[in-house]
Structure 1
Amino acid sequence: MALFKCIIVSCALFAIVECALLPAVPINTEIDPHPQYAYAYNVQDAITGDSKSQQEVRDGDVVKGSYSVVDADGSLRTVFYTADPINGFNAVVQRGPVPVPVAAPVAAPVVAARPFLG
C-alpha cells in the first residue's frame, strides 16, 4: 500500500512540474459575431479519372453548399446541404449519369488541291 501511495504522489508531483514548465499560451478571446466566407474548388483529372467539386458559403450562422463526386460505379453523386441554428444540418442527395462535356467542333485542316500536271 505504501508503494501505491508513493507512486500516486510521484505522479502528482511530476504533473505539477510538467505544468510549471509549459509556456503560457495566449488565448484569443475575440470571436467574430458574424463570420462570413465563400470557397469553391473543382478537380477534373483526365489521367486518373478523378472528378469532384465543392462550393460553400457561410453568412453568420447559416451555411449553404454542395459537392459532387463521380462514384466508382460511374454515377454522379451531388449533395446539396444547408445548416443553421433553427433547422440543423439538412442534406439532399441526387444521383444520376455523369454529364458528357460538349466539345467544340474541331475544324478539319484545309488542304488546297493542286491541279494534276502530268
Structure 2
Amino acid sequence: MVQKLIILSALVAVASAVAILPSPGYPGLALPGLPGLPGLPKLALPALPAITKIAAPLAVAKVAAPEPYDPNPQYSFSYDVHDGSTGDVKSQQEQRSGDVVQGAYSLIEPDGTRRVVEYTADPVNGFNAIVRREPIAVKAVAPIAKVLAPAPLLPAPVIAKAIPAIGAIPALPALPALPALARPSYAAPLSYLHG
C-alpha cells in the first residue's frame, strides 16, 4: 500500500512539473551546448505597460533618549479619602529627598479602630515601619434588645367531656381520662449577648 502511495505521489509530481526549455527564440533562456528544441511554437509575450515602483517611506523607530540622571531626586505628595456612603476613610503622605523616603498612611479597620503606619526607607537601614492602632470616636448605636428564652411549655391535663346528642345523632360515650405524661425537666436555652 505504501508503495502505491509513493508511486501515485511521484506521478502527480511529474504531471504538475513545469519544464523550462531553452529555445532559439529566447536567447536569454538558451543554455550553451544545448540546441533549441524544434517543433515548439514560439510564444509571444503580451506587451505590458511599464510599472513604476514607488518606494514607501520606511518607518523610522525613534529611540528614546535616556532621561537625565538626577543625583538628588525630590518629591512630595499626599491625599485623603473620606467617603461617607461607603465608610472608606484613608489618607497617605510621602516625601523623598535623595535616597531617603519618609511617609505615613492611615485607614479605618473593620473593627472601628484607626491603623496608622509611619515608615522610612534609606540605603543604610532599609525599610522600617511603625504601626499604631488608635481608637476613634464611636457613633452612638441603638442598643440591641435582649432576647429572653420563652418559659418551657407544660402539658395541660386532658379532660374528657361527653358530647350531648344533637337531633338524631346518638350521644357518644365519655372518654376516660388519660394519665398525665411525665416529661423530663431541662434548663431553658440561654441567649448570648455580645456587648
Question: TM class, shorter-chain normalised?
Answer: 0.5 to 0.7
User: Is residue 28 from structure 1 mapped to residue 95 from structure 2 by the alignment?
Assistant: no
CA RMSD, 1 decimal: 1.8
In structure 2, C-alpha distance between the alignment counterparts of 1:72 and 1:94, rounded to whole Å: 15
Give structure 2 stretches of 5+ with no counterpart. Answer: 1-58, 139-195
In structure 1, C-alpha distance between the alignment counterparts of 2:117 and 2:88, rounded to whole Å: 17
In structure 2, C-alpha distance between the alignment counterparts of 1:36 and 1:89, rounded to whole Å: 18
TM-score calculated relative to the size of structure 2: 0.38
TM-score calculated relative to the size of structure 1: 0.61
Equivalence for 1:38: 76
Figure out how many residues of one structure are paired with residues of the other and give that number: 80
1:47 deviates by 1.2
Evaluate the alpha carbon distance shift between residue 65 and residue 75 of structure 1 in structure 2; reply closer, same or farther with a 3 A threshold. Answer: same
Task: Report 1 or 2 for greater relative contact order, CA contacts < 8 Å, sequence distance ≥ 6.
Answer: 1
Equivalence for 1:61: 99
In structure 2, C-alpha distance between the alignment counterparts of 1:61 and 1:55, rounded to whole Å: 17
Structure 1 runs, 4 residues or longer, greater than 6 Å off: none
Among candidates 82, 85, 90, match of residue 47 of structure 1: 85
In structure 2, C-alpha distance between the alignment counterparts of 1:60 and 1:45, rounded to whole Å: 34
The 5-angstrom pairing of residues 90-109 of structure 1 reads 90-99=128-137
Question: In structure 2, what residue type is equivalent to 1:95?
Answer: R
Give structure 1 stretches of 5+ with no counterpart. Answer: 1-20, 101-118
1:86 deviates by 0.5
Equivalence for 1:76: 114
In structure 2, C-alpha distance between the alignment counterparts of 1:99 and 1:43, rounded to whole Å: 18
Which of the pair is proportionally richer in helix? 1
